[in-house]
Amino acid sequence: MIGIPTGNLMPNPATLLSVLALVCSAPASASITMTPNIKNGQTVSGEMKVSVGVDSDSLVTSVEFYVGDDLQSTDNSTPYEFTFDTLSVDDGGLKFTIAAYNEKGESAKTTLSVSVNNEIAKGAAYLAGQSNAASDVSKWGDAIRFGRAAVKADEGSTAAKLALARAYLGAGQFDRAQQHAEDASKLDPSNRRVLDLLSAIHLKRAFATLDHGDRAETAATIRSAFSAAAKSRIESLQANVDSFGTVTDGNRIAFVDALLDAGRYSLAINELKPRFRNEPTNNQLADRLMFAQIRSGRLQEAAQTMKDVQRFGEFDGEGQALRALLLLFTGDEEAAAEAEKDALLDAPDSLVVATSRTWMSLRRNDLASARSLATGLSASQGQDPIVNSALCTLFWRTGEYEKSRAAFETAILAEPANVDLYIEKANQVIEFGLRSDVSGEDQTYQFRLADAYFDAALAAKPDSFQALTGKALVLALLKDSAEALKSASSAAKAGPNYAAAQYTLAAVLFDLNQNTEAKNALKAAETADARGLAGRPIPKVLDAWRYFAGIGRLPLVARPRG
């Protein structure tokens, strides 16, 4: 015990303070020593892990962690640690205290002062920018830290929530990514970046389920996640149309391109037709008009546009490529081959020409040429959704199923509203389900999976007569005749000149013993495709599916850009 003199003999004040400080800082037990992972004066940010190594002559019973004067955590076993979110406090000084106890009742305590600096004062815009910069180089931990700080700096910042959602997506934390993306969407419902990010989140969740989910989870996730992704993406593309502003002669082509990208083919046709009538030699108008007519199944109108171009002017390379597609689709192989050669001569570097030639090779089942064209395109256009759609089809046909799946994922991530690719994937799944070694519950599961892909296509384009045709067929394969008829009737109404829709309607009606109506639908199918269907009997469901999956699909090629 230290004695304090009494009377008039007072010690030097400095000496007294030194003695008292020595007493207060002495550990309660010299047999317990602690080594924390933080140091006095250290600057900290984001979520931090506070840990301590404890040495003791006897068993350590517990370690307590305090922030300020508040007990935050008690740990009874190694490693002794707790995680603290520095964003829960303001930037500035902060005190951590760690206390350790052993079975002898001895204890030790250490207090450390740190400086919290999440750079909140720099504002949400700066912090969101830092988050995005970290995401650009896949530093997801830093991206999350800056993103969380940005949100704290301004809870109402769309950019902050978007940056944080992107960071969580990169880190594979899909629930958190979706939560913050949806929060951003509530703040700005028409923000294209937010809508596109929501699409990506849904797709990543779907791909993760494909890798690890059970059957019930996979089918449900395909239906919900892919459909949600497609819907968000089409909303983004539509927002681009809605925000375009006043359409003038100077920006009309750009507006039409926005319509084509959004799959608004009828609106594009309405915008183009009167101007093409006034300028039949304008290849920009003619190419886009033919493209929209082909993609909307209005093949007779496309043929008339083709004749008008030939009558009043001449095709450019992209127009020749579209002409070749139309001729091949309507059965004129020889003329199609000549148009294809002219397209290649006129525009050898055009993506429209290259993707058209690839599609025609697949249509002809010339897989060697298709491989050469598609892989060549992949080298220069590796992320293009049309190119990867062709690769998905090619690899499936050659039995390279993992490559096909990888191409599908790349294509859908690049364009989540790719209606044709969802249909292609659904048909691949149906084909697998029809194998001789697949039956019973396994086959039913495959058909339900295909139905989910058709639903994703319909989420992107509810009036897609191709997707409605496919859905009618898979429902018929599932023996859901009533719903199959609804979808088949909707397909035939949406695409009255689309042969596969009418042919499918004939098959579904025949399956329901509605023979007169089936014959009428067959006649409509023959009118739409006389070369392919003339003289055929009323089809069975599998006959209709083979036609649809084979020669009944419309071309998927890059849109004109000239």
The fold of 32-116 is Immunoglobulin-like (2.60.40)
Residue 29 has pLDDT above 80, yes or no: no
- In the chain, what percentage of residues exceed pLDDT 90? 88
Domain 417-562 in this protein, CATH class:
mainly alpha
Residue 27 has pLDDT above 50, yes or no: no
- Amino acid 283 reads N
Distance of CA 256 to the CA centre of its chain: 25
Contact indicator for 521, 492 with CB cutoff of 8 Å: yes
Mean pLDDT of 64-81: 94
Mean pLDDT of 412-441: 95
Mean pLDDT of 504-519: 96
Residue 5 has pLDDT above 80, yes or no: no
- Amino acid 86 reads T
The fold of 128-240 is 1.25.40
Q: How confident is the model at residue 219 (pLDDT cuts 50, 70, 90)?
A: confident
Mean pLDDT of 283-302: 95
CATH 1.25.40.10 in the chain, residues? 128-240, 417-562
Query: What was the pLDDT predicted at 26?
Result: 39
- Amino acid 65 reads F
Mean pLDDT of 261-278: 96
Q: How confident is the model at residue 217 (pLDDT cuts 50, 70, 90)?
A: confident
Contact indicator for 396, 428 with CB cutoff of 8 Å: yes
- C-alpha 208/C-alpha 221 separation (Å) is 10
- Higher pLDDT: 4 or 12? It is 12
CATH 2.60.40.10 in the chain, residues? 32-116
Query: What was the pLDDT predicted at 17?
Result: 35
Query: What was the pLDDT predicted at 220?
Result: 85
Tell me the pLDDT of the chain averaged across its residues. Answer: 91
DSSP conformation letters of 456-485: HHHHH-TT-HHHHHHHHHHHHHTT-HHHHH
Query: What was the pLDDT predicted at 562?
Result: 85
Query: What was the pLDDT predicted at 212?
Result: 61
Residue 395 has pLDDT above 90, yes or no: yes
Contact indicator for 98, 109 with CB cutoff of 8 Å: yes
User: For 10, which DSSP code?
Assistant: P
- C-alpha 540/C-alpha 56 separation (Å) is 82
- C-alpha 433/C-alpha 473 separation (Å) is 13
- C-alpha 293/C-alpha 167 separation (Å) is 41
- C-alpha 350/C-alpha 502 separation (Å) is 35
- Higher pLDDT: 331 or 513? It is 513
Maximum distance among all Cα pairs of the chain, rounded to whole angstroms: 128
Query: What was the pLDDT predicted at 210?
Result: 73
Residue 14 has pLDDT above 90, yes or no: no
Strand order from edge to edge, sheet including 70-75: 43-44, 107-116, 92-102, 60-67, 70-75
Spell out where 422-525 has E strands.
none
DSSP conformation letters of 174-196: HHHHHHHHHHHHHH-TT-HHHHH
HEC letters along 62-96? EEEEEECCEEEEEECCCCEEEEEEHHHCCCEEEEE
Q: How confident is the model at residue 2 (pLDDT cuts 50, 70, 90)?
A: very low
| 350-387: pLDDT as tens digits | 999 999 999 999 999 999 999 999 999 999 998 999 99
Query: What was the pLDDT predicted at 211?
Result: 61
Q: Supply 338's token pair.
A: 């000549």
- C-alpha 446/C-alpha 170 separation (Å) is 31
Nearest 5°: the CA angle 20, 24, 26 is 115
Query: What was the pLDDT predicted at 236?
Result: 95
